[in-house]
Amino acid sequence: MIDIITVCDCLDAATDQYGRNYHQAKTTDEVLAEFKRDAGVRYNPDIVRFILQDSALRDTLREISGSRRLTIYYDTYKHYFM
């Protein structure tokens, strides 16, 4: 479970252009390339392989870490705080 959380957290942190102003956001494809490069060293190779072999999953990750991120933030805020 921790390996899945690690991959998710790294993808979120690296692609976040709104909440992390201490670095420039990377594209999802840049992060996926890092996952591939560091599979077996920093990231669980089975999880990386699963992501890289599933094009629909990669498309979803691109969408939610890119164009839909702000909408997801706003919808979550509305749900819990309004």
> What are the sequence ranges of the domains in the chain?
2-81
pLDDT in the model for residue 13: 93
How far apart, in Å, do the first and last CA atoms of the chain sit?
32
pLDDT in the model for residue 60: 97
Burial of 65 (0-12, 13-18, 19+ CB in 10 A): buried
3-state class (DSSP) for residue 71: helix
Handedness of CA 48, 60, 34, 74 (dihedral sign): negative
pTM: 0.84
Instruction: Check pLDDT > 90 for residue 21.
Output: no
